[in-house]
A and B are shown apart, each in its own frame.
Chain A
Amino acid sequence: MATAVLKAIGPIALGGRELPLWVTSVIVLLAPALLAALVFTQAFADGKDLSVGAETVGVVAGGLVAWRSGSIVACVVVAAVLTAALRAL
């Protein structure tokens, strides 16, 4: 599948050589940019519409938990539980 190819191209193309400094500098910032984009589009949008709902609150709460406790498991569980609780109201 396309996924396997994409994961393979990077190491093949550049293996063995040292990356120039600016490339590393950009790559180091790629994860924050992409992860944030993923998170915010999922939490604040549904398909093509921008929307705020129970899921948004759950995700934000999960984020706070992750921030304070550093536990990704707690983050995920809190997000799910809170979202479910808000929907049940």
Chain B
Amino acid sequence: MRTESARRAFRQGLREGAPFAVAGFVLAVSFGVIAREAGLSALATIVMSLIMFAGAAQFTAIAIIGGGGTVGAAIGASALMNSRFLPMGAALGPSLPGGALKRAAQGQAVVDASWALAGRGDGTFDRWLLFGASAAQYLTWQLGTIAGALGGDLLGDPAELGLDAIYPAFFLGLLLAEARTLRAAGVALLGAGIALALVPFAPAGVPILVASLAALVGLTRSAQTAVAEAQAREQEREREHLLERERQERERAAR
């Protein structure tokens, strides 16, 4: 059921997601070019973006295939890379209505930027904001992939153009938006350290997965207190908002 507030949240999602959509376009172009370089057909490249809609996993898969790895290894590594969507989806679950199938469909809209934007800091998510932000990014992601896959020959060597720096830079931008607190920044450094330490020893994707253990810092009392406080603040804000609306309706009825 589309209500006015849902439409508003969706539009807000489109607005807030717009910069990520633009950056995503550039990223997708670089993906299209790099995928073609690795030997994929234009069609395969485009289909990959259509189905996966996940930059980190797509780039990982291409890196493996381009390096001579098997398709099985590529699928495995990109699944690992995408495993972060498991906990993201779990966090999102309570904020999604409907039966299993409907929730599964809504879960597809999760990408890092949208998930970060839609999070309210208390554990709940604004799902229409998520949909709006993801819609914008999905559109530019496909357009960018098509442009890169078909027009790549025109651009020349991707390394020369610095296209391979775009992907880590994009995620760094996301990280800076996410790691606003000292605790988050510390966990980020811990996660990075774990991953880097494992790179020489573990197959692709594993360092990233193990790095997620750094999030266990969330088990400490101070971390949980911070979350509880954020939730309380959010509830207070919603209560005030409700009271304000009731007050306005009373005024309207009195006239």
Contact = CB atoms under 8 A, between A and B. Distances in A.
Contacts of A58: 162, 165, 169
For the residues of B in contact with A, the DSSP-based class is: helix
Contacts of B184: 28-29, 32
A42 B172 CA distance: 10
Nearest to A44: B196
Contacts of B204: 47
Given A14-B94, A37-B207, A83 B162 contact: yes
A37 B1 CA distance: 39
B217 interface: yes
Interface size classification for chain B: 35 or more
A58 B226 CA distance: 35
Contacts of B178: 31-32, 35
B171 A38 contact: yes
Interface string A1-28: 1111011111111111111011111111
B11 interface: no
A11 B89 contact: yes
A51 B48 CA distance: 29
B89 to A, nearest CB: 2
A7 B85 contact: yes
A15 to B, nearest CB: 5
B31 interface: no
Given A36-B175, A63-B173, A7 B187 contact: no
Contacts of B78: 2-3
A4 B53 CA distance: 9
Contact of A37 (B161, B176, B208, B217): B208
B192 A37 contact: yes
Nearest to B207: A41
Interface of A: 1-4, 6-19, 21-45, 47-50, 54-55, 58-59, 62-63, 66-67, 70-73, 75-85, 87-88
Given A3-B53, A36-B189, A41-B192, 12 more contacts: A11-B107, A15-B98, A15-B100, A24-B123, A29-B223, A33-B190, A36-B191, A41-B196, A45-B199, A50-B196, A62-B169, A63-B173
18 contacts: A6-B86, A6-B89, A10-B85, A12-B100, A16-B93, A16-B94, A21-B224, A33-B211, A36-B195, A37-B211, A39-B171, A45-B196, A62-B169, A66-B169, A71-B19, A76-B169, A80-B165, A87-B160
Interface of B: 19-20, 22-23, 26-27, 30, 51-54, 56-57, 63, 67, 75, 78-79, 81-94, 96, 98, 100, 103-108, 110, 112, 115-116, 119, 121-123, 159-179, 183-185, 187-192, 194-196, 199-200, 204, 207-208, 211-219, 223-224, 226-228, 231
